[in-house]
């Protein structure tokens, strides 16, 4: 696994605090702590070597992993952008060159510091810079072998071809579900539209019937009043006849 930049910062903080703690302990115990310049050169060397073994090598290892994944995908017939793959290969070569140059230049600079008599810490620091040139790739190679063995064991139970086929089936099922959902939604919209049309028609029919009913009620009321007026007039006529008959009898 590659070291993240966050881990690098935590490592720098840990080394710094550890160095200060050791320096303070030596001072409290009265033990000669040596030249402060040596301590400063040592801490700066640790910071720099941690950076050199973190950033460029991380880029190199991540680029190599991306290249391997792309080649495996191509072997399975999965399309890979050739231009982007070429850029990743170029980045992998560039990061390797930068890492090697930084290691060599760091070792030379630390050796020059020691040779100039500024700090004897430069000699072991330069040796560490050279050693890390091989230690970091070796550690990565071991991690890569362990990862490949784990991947091989996993592919024995779940082959990559089966995983690809399963993914394709899932994509197909997702497409079918989308089509079904769209069809269902379209059917629901059509039904709602039909219901709306029928509702509007019924509303219009109810309006017409309400108007007709009101007209019929008005007509019946008029007929009732006309009949009632006719009956009243007939009653008055009958009363007049009765009065005439009574008058004739009395006469």
- Threshold 0.85, pTM exceeds: no
Q: Which range among 20-29, 137-146, 186-195, 214-223 shows the weakest confidence by mean pLDDT?
A: 20-29
Contact 60, 92 (CB under 8 A): yes
- Summary mean pLDDT of the chain: 76
Question: Residue 119 burial (CB < 10 Å; 0-12/13-18/19+)?
Answer: buried
Examine the pLDDT at 42 and tell me if it is beyond 70: yes
Quick one: what percent of the chain has pLDDT higher than 70? Answer: 74
- The pLDDT confidence band at residue 90, using thresholds 50, 70 and 90, is very high
35-40 contact pairs (CB < 8 A, 24+): 35/119, 37/118, 37/119, 38/119, 38/120, 38/121
Residue with tokens 């991540």: 62
Instruction: Say what angle helices 36-52 and 82-115 make with each other, to 10 degrees.
Output: 160
Q: Give Cα separations from 27 to 15, 23, 153, 215 (angstroms).
A: 18, 6, 55, 114
Examine the pLDDT at 34 and tell me if it is beyond 80: no
- What span, in angstroms and rounded, lies between the C-alpha atoms of 139 and 153? 21
pLDDT of residue 2: 45
Interior CA angle at 88 toward 83 and 93, to 5°? 125
pLDDT of residue 115: 86
Interior CA angle at 197 toward 193 and 203, to 5°? 140
Examine the pLDDT at 11 and tell me if it is beyond 70: no
- Highest mean predicted confidence (pLDDT) among 116-125, 148-157, 229-238: 116-125
**Which of the two residues, 169 and 183, has the higher pLDDT score?**
169
pLDDT of residue 94: 92
């Amino acid at each position: 696994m590659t070291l993240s930049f966050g881990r690098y910062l935590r490592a720098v903080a840990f080394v710094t605090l550890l160095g200060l703690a050791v320096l303070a302990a030596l001072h409290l115990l009265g033990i000669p702590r040596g030249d402060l310049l040596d301590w400063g050169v040592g801490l700066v060397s640790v910071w720099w070597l941690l950076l050199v073994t973190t950033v460029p090598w991380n880029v190199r290892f991540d680029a190599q992993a991306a290249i391997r994944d792309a080649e495996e995908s191509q072997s399975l017939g999965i399309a890979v952008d050739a231009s982007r793959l070429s850029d990743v290969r170029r980045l992998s070569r560039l990061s390797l060159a930068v890492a090697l140059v930084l290691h060599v230049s760091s070792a030379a600079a630390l050796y020059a510091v020691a040779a100039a008599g500024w700090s004897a810490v430069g000699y072991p620091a330069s040796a560490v810079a050279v050693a890390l040139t091989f230690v970091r790739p070796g550690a990565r190679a071991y991690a890569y072998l362990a990862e490949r063995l784990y991947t091989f064991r996993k592919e024995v139970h779940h082959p990559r071809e089966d995983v690809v086929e399963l993914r394709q089936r899932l994509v197909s099922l997702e497409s079918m579900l989308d089509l079904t959902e769209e069809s269902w939604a379209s059917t629901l919209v059509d039904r709602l539209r039909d219901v709306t049309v029928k509702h509007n028609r019924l509303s219009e029919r109810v309006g017409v019937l309400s108007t007709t009913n009101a007209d019929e009620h008005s007509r019946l009321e008029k007929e009732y009043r006309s009949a009632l007026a006719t009956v009243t007039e007939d009653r008055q006529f009958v009363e007049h006849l009765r009065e005439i008959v009574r008058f004739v009898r009395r006469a």
